[in-house]
């Protein structure tokens, strides 16, 4: 049976390490199952993974693996959030 690879970004990822208290453990487990631990074909579809790959910056907490925001929209939202704080 071929080995299923885990996302290489798992060590610092708050989803994988269940560090986001906004979501239940059950929800995080589903993300982990569907993205983080589901092989390259799936973890490369994770918006957090894509964001880090494209920007070299850590993905903000509001970005979930299945986020429909584009990388550009995420960057804009980060700028807006920074301007408000
Ligand atoms: S697949 Fe996404 S959520 Fe999972 S460890 Fe990788 S970057 Fe984090």
The tens digit of pLDDT for each residue in 26-79 reads: 999 999 999 999 999 999 999 999 999 999 999 999 999 999 999 999 999 999
Q: Considering only CA atoms, which of 41, 42, 24 is closest in space to residue 33?
A: 42
pLDDT of residue 24 exceeding 60, the answer is: yes
pLDDT of residue 9 exceeding 80, the answer is: yes
CA–CA gap between residue 46 and residue 5 (Å, rounded): 14
10 CA distance to ligand 1 centroid (A)? 6
Which position has the higher pLDDT, 22 or 52? 52
Q: Which residues line ligand 1 (CB under 6 A)?
A: 7, 9-10, 13, 15-16, 35-36, 43, 46, 48-49, 65
| pTM for this predicted structure | 0.92
Atom of ligand 1 at shortest distance to CA of 8?
6
Which position has the higher pLDDT, 62 or 4? 62
Is 8 part of a structural domain of the chain? Answer: no
| Residue 72: its H or E element | helix 71-84
Q: How far apart are the first and last CA of the chain?
A: 50
Is 80 part of a structural domain of the chain? Answer: yes
- State residue 1's pLDDT score: 57
Domain that holds residue 53: 25-84
Q: How many CB atoms lie within 10 A of CB 46?
A: 26
Number of domains in the chain: 1
pLDDT band per the 50, 70, 90 thresholds, residue 5? very high
Atom of ligand 1 at shortest distance to CA of 16?
5
């Amino acid at each position: 049976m071929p080995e299923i690879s885990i996302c290489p970004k798992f060590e610092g990822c708050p989803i994988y390490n269940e560090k986001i208290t906004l979501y239940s453990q059950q929800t995080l487990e589903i993300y982990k199952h569907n993205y983080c631990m589901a092989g390259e074909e799936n973890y490369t579809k994770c918006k957090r993974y894509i964001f880090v790959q494209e920007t070299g910056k850590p993905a903000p907490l509001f970005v979930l693996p299945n986020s429909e925001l584009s990388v550009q929209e995420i960057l804009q939202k980060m700028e807006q959030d920074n301007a408000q704080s």
